[in-house]
């Protein structure tokens, strides 16, 4: 996925729900206060995070882990199921933390090669989510306290919703304009962009037989030394 597309999706998905917070702050705040202990949301987010993480493990091509992948599937899958069965307290917060960490990875991977300084908006946002994901995983009740503070009054709900809408629209507009224009520019050459580890390994493996063949050919045609 291109960074422009990801920015538009993230920006709109982040901004649109908070329109309800501007229109009906009391109802929006009441719904948010129920989220940390909502078991249904907890099951959904934990299942999404577990499946997403296992998919990432499947896509990983580091040979050191290849032999252990079946055990990793079972182990991480059991962790996700066990959390749903035995750690139901603040399960929605823990599931949200996992999804934020995984989504931040996608944002950073996608933004890596886009040649514009505006990509740093996505990068900084991703690191904020990483920090929040780690913090909420260790202390899930912190999100409850944060939500209670933000929804204490209807005016505070409106202000927080307006700020989130502004951030979401900014990211979406950047995706439609600056970031998309940067993606349409001529890509970096192979010299400018560092090769991946896999590509270096493949090139090395391909060059070894050619080198051996050249050595053998050189030995066969080499003139005999004078006596």
Query: For 18-74, how does the pLDDT look when each residue is reduced to its tens digit (9 = 90+)?
Result: 999 999 999 999 999 999 999 999 999 999 999 999 999 888 887 777 888 889 899
Same domain, 25 and 81: yes
Same domain, 9 and 49: yes
Reduced to 3 DSSP states, what percent helix, strand and coil does the chain have, rounded to the nearest 5? Answer: 80, 0, 20
Residue 226 in domain: no
Quote the pLDDT of residue 137.
92
List CB contacts of 148: < 8 A, sequence separation 6 or more: 33
Structural domain for 194, as ranges:
189-221
Number of domains, the chain: 2
Residue 52 in domain: yes
Helix (H) or strand (E) holding 136: helix 119-138
Same domain, 177 and 196: no
Same domain, 202 and 123: no
Question: Which of 106 and 62 is assigned the larger pLDDT?
Answer: 106
Residue 202 in domain: yes
Same domain, 94 and 195: no
Least confident of 57-66, 104-113, 166-175, 181-190: 181-190
Same domain, 45 and 92: yes
Contact 136, 142 (CB under 8 A): yes
Contact 49, 105 (CB under 8 A): no
Residue 47 in domain: yes
Same domain, 48 and 32: yes
What whole-number distance in Å separates Cα of residue 24 and Cα of residue 163? 16
Residue 35 in domain: yes
Distance of CA 64 to the CA centre of its chain: 23
List CB contacts of 92: < 8 A, sequence separation 6 or more: 35, 36, 37, 38, 39, 41, 42, 45
Measured from the Cβ of residue 52, the count of other Cβ atoms closer than 10 Å reads 17
Quote the pLDDT of residue 59.
87
Residue 33 in domain: yes
Same domain, 37 and 119: yes
pTM for this entry? 0.77
What whole-number distance in Å separates Cα of residue 136 and Cα of residue 93? 7
Is 105 a residue whose pLDDT tops 80?
A: yes
Same domain, 193 and 117: no
List CB contacts of 10: < 8 A, sequence separation 6 or more: 107, 122, 168, 171, 172
Quote the pLDDT of residue 19.
95
Residue 72 in domain: yes
Same domain, 99 and 206: no
% the chain with pLDDT above 90: 68
Quote the pLDDT of residue 215.
47
Quote the pLDDT of residue 64.
79
Same domain, 89 and 166: yes
Mean pLDDT is highest, among 62-76, 120-134, 173-187, for: 120-134
Quote the pLDDT of residue 62.
78
Residue 120 in domain: yes
Provide the pLDDT confidence category of residue 156 given band limits of 50, 70 and 90.
Answer: very high
What whole-number distance in Å separates Cα of residue 37 and Cα of residue 181? 43
Same domain, 13 and 68: yes
Q: Which tokens sit at 46?
A: 């934990």
Provide the pLDDT confidence category of residue 108 given band limits of 50, 70 and 90.
Answer: very high
């Amino acid at each position: 996925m291109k960074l422009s597309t990801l920015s538009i999706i993230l920006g709109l998905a982040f901004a649109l729900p908070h329109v309800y917070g501007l229109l009906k702050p009391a109802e929006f705040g009441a719904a948010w206060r129920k989220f940390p202990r909502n078991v249904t949301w907890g099951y959904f987010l934990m299942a999404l995070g577990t499946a997403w993480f296992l998919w990432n493990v499947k896509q990983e091509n580091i040979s050191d882990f290849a032999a252990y992948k079946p055990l990793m599937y079972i182990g991480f899958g059991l962790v996700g199921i066990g959390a749903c069965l035995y750690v139901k307290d603040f399960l929605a917060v823990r599931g949200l933390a996992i999804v934020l960490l995984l989504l931040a990875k996608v944002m950073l991977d996608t933004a890596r090669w886009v040649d514009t300084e505006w990509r740093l908006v996505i990068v900084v946002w991703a690191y904020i989510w990483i920090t929040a994901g780690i913090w909420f995983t260790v202390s899930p009740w912190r999100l409850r306290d944060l939500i209670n503070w933000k929804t204490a009054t209807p005016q505070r709900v409106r202000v927080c919703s307006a700020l989130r809408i502004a951030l979401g629209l900014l990211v979406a507009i950047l995706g439609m304009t600056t970031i998309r224009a940067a993606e349409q520019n001529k890509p970096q050459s192979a010299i400018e962009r560092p090769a991946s580890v896999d590509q270096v390994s493949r090139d090395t493996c391909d060059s070894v037989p050619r080198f051996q063949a050249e050595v053998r050919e050189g030995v066969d045609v080499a003139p005999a030394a004078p006596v």
